[in-house]
Chains A and B, each alone.
Chain A
Amino acid sequence: MLALEGVRGGYGKLEILQAASLDVPDGAIVGIIGPNGAGKSTLLKTAFGYLAPWAGRVVLDGHEIAGRRPDEIMRLGVGYLSQAGGLFAEMTVHDNLVLGGYTISSAEKRRAIEDVYARFPLFWERRRQLAGALSGGEQRLLAIARALIVKPRLLLLDEPSAALAPRFIDDIYATLVSLNRDGLAMLIVEQNVEAILAVAHRVFVLDLGRNAFDGTPAELRGSDRIRRLYLGEDGVEGTTA
């Protein structure tokens, strides 16, 4: 579905990605882990068009999309959730959902928002509140619900568990797994290694902008070298990598 091939890129003159590659098959959950500064978020931003790659290819459904704007890539069926969720904190919950359906017809939007309210009654009760007044976990769920309004085929998520209490992390990942069962593919950058290894079909380890590992979570757990380098000596480095 989505493939990045030998992508180089970064910010200004600072090269972060050095020929990084990965692919996301249809319907799969793919995780990207790695140390801080490895280029995980940069890779996601490059895939979604926030950053133009300096070299290499970004291919969606067989078509090159490098150089396209994020709104154009979004219209191809790709959703993006930034680390902070990207909610418009000073707008109401309802207005955030309306904006989620910016690219679809009013009738489709109305139906989709009703579906969100049916699935998350909390958001119906709080539809007139500012999104910024929700708790961190609720904001993350609202951001996911908003991204789903246009029924994307692929969701790019940058650290969906960041700064959340464990209870909310479980809720978020339960929601993501349920969405994946309905066929939604996901590319997830995550610092919480245990959380992503529990749900991913495939994992890429990125280090200094290069691929350091590519395999299933079981293969990753079975690799002594990767466990030592990126997960700590015994495979558990708290919850981060």
Chain B
Amino acid sequence: MLESLLEFLIQGVVLGGLYALFAVGLSLIFGVLDVINVAHGEFFAIGGYLAFAAVVLLHLPGALGVLGAAVGTFLLGLAVYPLLIAPLKRRLGGRPPGPLYLVLTLGLSTLLQSSLLAIAGGDYLRVPPQVGGILDLGVTAVSHQRLLVLGVAAALLTALFAFLRWHPQGLAVRAVALNPDAAQAMGINLPRIFALTLALGVALAGVGGALMAPLFNVYPAVGFPLTIKAFAITILGGMGNPAGALVASFLISVAESLSVMVIPSQWQNLIAFAVMIAMLLVRPRGLFGRAVTR
């Protein structure tokens, strides 16, 4: 019993790394731009395709595939604010957007998925692991690739939170999340911060896609279920609260993993959504409220 508990706990923590990489970016984007990015999963897929192109088509090392995914999705993300969100914002004037941003990113999600389908086809593509081998922990074994995901997630998220805490641009991101008008009075260029935040958020998803490509197959809709799960995670952590999303990622992943000890595994995926609905009904602000600020 104890061995099983440890095994599922370890698997849950490893899965939490992927969830965190994905959900923290989604939450950061919402916290700063007030935009629920339904297209987040497509950047995960694009990361996977870029890793496939680098490693399988160009025969580059796996690390370059991950780097290419990070840079590629970051650059794509940089274009989303000025090309899509800013024009809509200008058309709205000062009027509240209502569901329009949600519809806009849903449109972007469909556009990107359809484009991937047209360019790469619907085949499931396999990417070789960036690292081979398995770590035997006694109670369980974890592939080096999964540990790599956890390690890279830890490094990138530590870097992200350090950036938000100490770097002048990171402080500016937090200031914009708190009070955009006051941030402008400090000389902060809002469109630039919005574009940067969106690019950082989707680049985290892109790196996740590149790292998970050897574990999942790569196909156009590979990221969409993760987007839906990330909504549940961000609601649990507090919408727009990246640190809350980080904690919630591990809570959900460990809960999912441990749940198979007491419920049939086909119910495992429902855990996140049951938690999401319960949170919305009982505590809509999530466990930690909204804050990109601390």
Could you list which residues of chain A lie within 8 angstroms of chain B, going by C-beta atoms?
A: 11-12, 48, 50, 69-71, 74-75, 79-82, 86-91, 95, 98-100, 102-103, 147, 150
Contact = CB atoms under 8 A, between A and B. Distances in A.
- Please provide the 10 A-B residue pairs with the shortest distance between their CB atoms, ordered closest to farther: A86-B182, A103-B187, A70-B184, A90-B293, A80-B185, A74-B187, A102-B186, A88-B178, A71-B187, A71-B184
B174 interface: yes
Contacts of A48: 185
Given A90-B178, A90-B294, A102-B168, A11 B94 contact: yes
A79 B293 CA distance: 24
24 contacts: A12-B94, A48-B185, A69-B184, A70-B181, A70-B184, A71-B184, A71-B185, A74-B186, A74-B187, A81-B185, A82-B185, A86-B179, A86-B182, A86-B185, A88-B178, A88-B293, A91-B174, A91-B293, A95-B171, A98-B171, A99-B172, A99-B188, A102-B186, A102-B187
Contacts of A82: 181-182, 185
Contact of A99 (B94, B186, B291): B186
Contacts of A79: 185
Given A71-B190, A99-B171, 8 more contacts: A69-B190, A86-B181, A90-B178, A90-B291, A91-B178, A95-B171, A98-B168, A99-B188
A69 B185 contact: no
A211 B133 CA distance: 79
A11 B94 CA distance: 8
A142 to B, nearest CB: 12
Contacts of B172: 99, 102
B189 interface: yes
A149 to B, nearest CB: 9
Given A11-B94, A12-B93, A71-B190, A88 B185 contact: no
Contacts of B218: none
Contacts of A99: 171-172, 175, 183, 186, 188
B95 A12 contact: yes
Contacts of A98: 168, 171
B181 A50 contact: yes
Contacts of B171: 91, 95, 98-99, 102
A88 B186 CA distance: 11
A40 B189 CA distance: 26
Which among B95, B175, B182 has the highest number of chain A CB atoms within 10 Å? B182
A150 B168 CA distance: 15
A88 B181 contact: no
B82 to A, nearest CB: 14
B184 A100 contact: no
Nearest to B184: A70
A75 B172 CA distance: 16
Given A12-B94, A90-B293, A91-B175, A102 B185 contact: no
Nearest to B193: A71
Interface in B171-209: 171-172, 174-175, 178-179, 181-190
Contacts of B94: 11-12
